[in-house]
Amino acid sequence: MRWPAAMLALALGLLPLIVTPVLPLIDFYNHVARFQVLATLANNPLFAANYAAAWAILPNVGLDVIAVAALQIVPLALLPHLLTVLILAVLFAGILALNRAITGQVRWPALLLALPLLYSWIFNWGFANFLLGLGLALLAAAWWLNQRDRPVRRVAFALPLALAIFFCHALAFGLFGILIASLELGHWWLQRPRRFAALVKALGQCALLAVVPAILFLQSRTATAAGGVSNADESLTRLRAQGLLMDRLAELAAQRLETIVRVAEGPSYPADAIWLLLLVALLGLAFWRRALQMSPIVAVPALAGIVLVLVMPPALFGSGYVSDRMPLFLALVLVAGIMPGPGRWPLLLPGLATLAGARLLMLAVQWHGTTADLADFDAVARALPPGQVVAGLPVRATPHEDMPGRCEMYPPLLLLRHGHATPLFAIRTAQPLELRGRLGAARDELAQRPAGLQSRQRPELVIAAYARAGYPYVLLCQVAADRPLPATPYPVVAQAGRFRLLRLASEP
């Protein structure tokens, strides 16, 4: 298959992005709002009063650098869609490049399987830096394989690629290391005779790529994240003492199963489960009829991916939802290793194309529904006086609401579309931004409250806490009709659709 055909397939795969004015990605617009603040801080008094740049060596700033530079020439209204196209294009190119490096050419089954994986559970979380780093990791791994016979050239070009991956995301860099090391092990295992010295040499080349990133990481603020490498040991000790360990392990197992079933995320858990069963049945028949096979070299990377899916802790170096990302890594490795077998089955490609097309079409229809939501949101936001500090609250939301109930993308749009200051991700060990002024004071005030007060399941308590923290307004977003907006003593300034704006102070 030639690259023009792959580019056409990617263009068709971008359909869900094209039909929606708001990308329903949970954390994404919070990141985009940070990019806008960093790009305009010097010229915006409201932003300067509430935010401060905190640039430093951080393994999570790759997209920040790209986006802040892009905002000098790209209109803000276009930036979110352009960034997502960049991320998905790099990820798609990485999958196909690694498939070509492993199997000798880009295979149609890999291309068709890659399209639904672009819209993954992790993409819906909006983990933009990680996905960009993961795409670069796949491209770098393809280069690594292609240059086996040119070690100097191989390492020389891989070093800057490794640094780029590191600055995108430390976890993506770690997965890159695991991927190329396990590919080397797979290649060594297939050699006859097996020469241990050749394996040591190859793994030594892999280790060279980690020297500079490891030094930079140890000098970064991320290395001092609360909980150390992981807080899993402390959590296990605490839960065991409270007699809640088995309940928590069962909860984690259920969450991990959901991330596996929904690795290519669609409209709902049941719909995703049915789609996955159909896909597994189709692929199972294809492998049984020998129309498909897996390259032997991916056996070790696949085994490594399975281990990561099973044992990866939920948090690592201050990053959350780490274990949720492992099924995607495993799926990408498997897709990269897929290739035609000696058998023939005419239904394979039409079947894969139908499943991939149906998934993209369902997403496009669902995401298009944000058009009406955005009109309601803008109508409510226009009731705010200029230059406000506003909090946002999804009412009784779970951590990962399905569409159309998702709300997390709307509070940052108060900043991006209407110029107000809102709370943004400003974790010292992860982002190059600090909250100051009114936002910083509100953050410190809220930090003194009991943890349960932050629960979205008791919105009336959270609204009262926002009022005590000094927010003059709060925007409420209803996630579902059976989870109604709460009754509060605060006056409603505006409401439309599932949005309601409350005034928390008499003199905002």
The strand pairing partners of 340, in sequence order, are: 292
Round to whole Å and give the CA distance between 411 and 416.
9
Residue 190 is encoded by which pair of tokens?
């297939």
- What integer pLDDT is reported at residue 256 of this predicted model? 84
Tokens 């998702």 belong to residue:
406
pLDDT at 383 exceeding the cut of 80:
yes
User: Measuring CA to CA, how many Å separate 276 from each of 279, 328, 457?
Assistant: 5, 14, 31
pLDDT at 62 exceeding the cut of 50:
yes
Tokens 């399941």 belong to residue:
457
User: Measuring CA to CA, how many Å separate 137 from each of 86, 162, 169, 261, 362?
Assistant: 15, 8, 10, 24, 29
Round to whole Å and give the CA distance between 70 and 31.
14
Q: Are 299 and 70 in contact (CB under 8 A)?
A: no
Residues contacting 39, CB < 8 A, separation 6+: 67, 68, 71, 72
- What integer pLDDT is reported at residue 506 of this predicted model? 63
Weakest mean pLDDT among 71-80, 117-126, 294-303, 446-455: 446-455
Q: Span 294-298, mean pLDDT? A: 95
Other Cβ atoms less than 10 A from the Cβ of 471: the count is 26
**Could you tell me the pTM of the whole model?**
0.94
- What integer pLDDT is reported at residue 230 of this predicted model? 53
- What integer pLDDT is reported at residue 221 of this predicted model? 86
DSSP 458: S
pLDDT at 275 exceeding the cut of 80:
yes
Q: Span 192-209, mean pLDDT? A: 90
Round to whole Å and give the CA distance between 437 and 324.
35
Q: What percent of the chain has pLDDT over 90?
A: 71
> Per-residue confidence at 495, pLDDT binned at 50, 70, 90?
very high
- What integer pLDDT is reported at residue 243 of this predicted model? 58
- What integer pLDDT is reported at residue 369 of this predicted model? 84
The predicted-structure confidence for 132-166, as pLDDT tens digits, reads as follows 999 999 999 999 999 988 999 999 999 999 999 99
User: Measuring CA to CA, how many Å separate 407 from each of 268, 390, 472?
Assistant: 16, 15, 21
Q: Span 251-259, mean pLDDT? A: 83
Strands of 286-346, DSSP E: 292-294, 338-340
Other Cβ atoms less than 10 A from the Cβ of 365: the count is 12
> Per-residue confidence at 244, pLDDT binned at 50, 70, 90?
low
Round to whole Å and give the CA distance between 286 and 294.
11
Tokens 């990617």 belong to residue:
10
Asked, as a colleague might, if the bond just before 404 is cis with ω within 30 of 0, I would say: yes
pLDDT at 502 exceeding the cut of 80:
yes
- What integer pLDDT is reported at residue 248 of this predicted model? 60
User: Measuring CA to CA, how many Å separate 447 from each of 8, 113, 393, 440, 453?
Assistant: 49, 44, 16, 11, 10
> Per-residue confidence at 39, pLDDT binned at 50, 70, 90?
very high
Residue 182 is encoded by which pair of tokens?
């396990």
Residue 239 is encoded by which pair of tokens?
């839960």
pLDDT at 72 exceeding the cut of 90:
yes
Weakest mean pLDDT among 265-269, 321-325, 435-439: 265-269
- What integer pLDDT is reported at residue 45 of this predicted model? 95
DSSP 344-366: --TTHHHHHHHHHHHHHHHHHHH
- What integer pLDDT is reported at residue 233 of this predicted model? 47
pLDDT at 429 exceeding the cut of 90:
no
- What integer pLDDT is reported at residue 251 of this predicted model? 74
Across the chain, what does the average pLDDT equal? 90
Q: Span 209-215, mean pLDDT? A: 94
